[in-house]
Amino acid sequence: MRKRLHRWLLSGLVITAFLFSLRYWGSRTETPVLSAGVTKETRRLSLAGREVAATFYYPAARAEAPVVIVAHGFTRTQRYMAGWGADLAARGITALVLTQPALADHPLNARVLAEIAEKVRLGELNLRVRSNQKVGLMGFSMGGLTTLLAASQTPVDAWVGLDPVDMDGSGLKAAAKLKVPSAVLCAEPEPWNLNGNARGLIAVLPKLKLALRVRHATHLDAESPTDRLGQLVCGFTRVEHQAAFKRYALAFLQATLLNDAESQRIIQGAPSDESLSDVVVR
């Protein structure tokens, strides 16, 4: 009996060690390489009564810049959107990438995002690169919902949903009254984006400027960086799909917040891009 118990305990330890190793290996992400002159700063901020971890990515050689606040998806943290922070800064935009405090309390996460947007607008964050008073919100999956809710609560200049998921129907109500330039970039319909329910948001956004679906893309193609474990569950990403999300989301933000003419031409060319479908440009 004792030997059998020892065997069970040993088997349990081996299985536990394997699961921990799998989780460690599967959840590792690559640290994005920063472009020349781009810098980053980590902080802990007090927002909506919670302490929130945030990383700021600052563009090089700019006296002032717009700020885009970036939110991650369900069960994720800020490191899964660090690539977006680096890419935004490389294009002249200060990025603020944070870890949302609640797993599934969307109103709380939205209050945090709205409060930090207000602090940026009021100049209360002592940024290394001064804000030009333009603020955008961008979120992936659940972060698409919480940034949308935040954008409906406080004045901002742009909202981008990266395969956003309206988990409880609150996004549809917020989208219908959102009066800022908006873009929605979608993957193929699948369980992880509730069968592409972002289509409902696209249908009611009053100031929708860009909507598109990246052909054959999985939900995680809109995350940057992603991990192996997520891909095993949600489907494998491809570089060309990730590049399409980056190309059009960044072009929209550069055109909207920096009045960049080349970015506007990229957006106008989206209907002829064979890697996309369901394209709307207004």
Residue 226 belongs to domain spanning: 31-281
Of the pLDDT bands very low, low, confident and very high (cuts 50, 70, 90), residue 152 is: very high
Q: Please give the average per-residue pLDDT across 50-64, as a whole number.
A: 95
Among residues 91, 101, 96, the alpha carbon closest in space to that of 257 is found at 91
Number of domains the chain contains: 1
Whether residue 20 is contained in a domain is answered as no
Q: What is the DSSP string of 179-240?
A: -S-EEEEE----GGGTTTTHHHHHHH-TTEEEEEEETT--GGGGSSS--HHHHHHH----HH
pLDDT at 158 over 70: yes
pLDDT at 15 over 60: no
Q: Are 137 and 158 in contact (CB under 8 A)?
A: yes
CA–CA dist 233, 51 (Å, integer): 30
Q: Please give the average per-residue pLDDT across 178-196, as a whole number.
A: 97
CA–CA dist 259, 176 (Å, integer): 25
Share of residues in the chain with pLDDT > 90 (%): 84
Q: Are 165 and 141 in contact (CB under 8 A)?
A: yes
Of the pLDDT bands very low, low, confident and very high (cuts 50, 70, 90), residue 223 is: very high
Whether residue 96 is contained in a domain is answered as yes
CA–CA dist 222, 183 (Å, integer): 13
Whether residue 158 is contained in a domain is answered as yes
Q: In the block, which residue shows the tokens 């592409």?
A: 196
CATH of the domain at 108: 3.40.50.1820
Whether residue 198 is contained in a domain is answered as yes
User: What Rg do the C-alpha atoms of the chain give, in angstroms?
Assistant: 20
Whether residue 243 is contained in a domain is answered as yes
**Per-chain mean pLDDT for the chain:** 92
Whether residue 22 is contained in a domain is answered as no
The model carries a pTM of: 0.91
Q: Are 175 and 204 in contact (CB under 8 A)?
A: yes
Q: Are 139 and 161 in contact (CB under 8 A)?
A: yes
Of the pLDDT bands very low, low, confident and very high (cuts 50, 70, 90), residue 18 is: very low
pLDDT at 4 over 80: no
Q: In the block, which residue shows the tokens 């800020």?
A: 78
Per-residue pLDDT at 26: 55
Q: Six-digit token pair at 2?
A: 């004792």
Whether residue 21 is contained in a domain is answered as no
Q: Six-digit token pair at 14?
A: 């081996």
pLDDT digits 0-9 by tens, 86-142: 999 999 999 999 999 999 999 999 999 999 999 999 999 999 999 999 999 999 999
Of the pLDDT bands very low, low, confident and very high (cuts 50, 70, 90), residue 20 is: very low
Chain mean position to CA 90:
17
Distances (CA, A) of 154 to 47, 67, 117, 214: 14, 15, 7, 30
Whether residue 4 is contained in a domain is answered as no
CA–CA dist 188, 273 (Å, integer): 16
pLDDT digits 0-9 by tens, 240-278: 999 999 999 999 999 999 999 999 999 999 999 999 999
Other Cβ atoms less than 10 A from the Cβ of 190: the count is 15
CA–CA dist 95, 86 (Å, integer): 8
Q: Six-digit token pair at 242?
A: 């990730």
Q: Are 27 and 229 in contact (CB under 8 A)?
A: yes
**In the chain, at which residue ranges do the beta strands (DSSP E only) sit?**
39-47, 50-58, 64-71, 94-98, 130-140, 158-162, 182-186, 208-214, 276-281
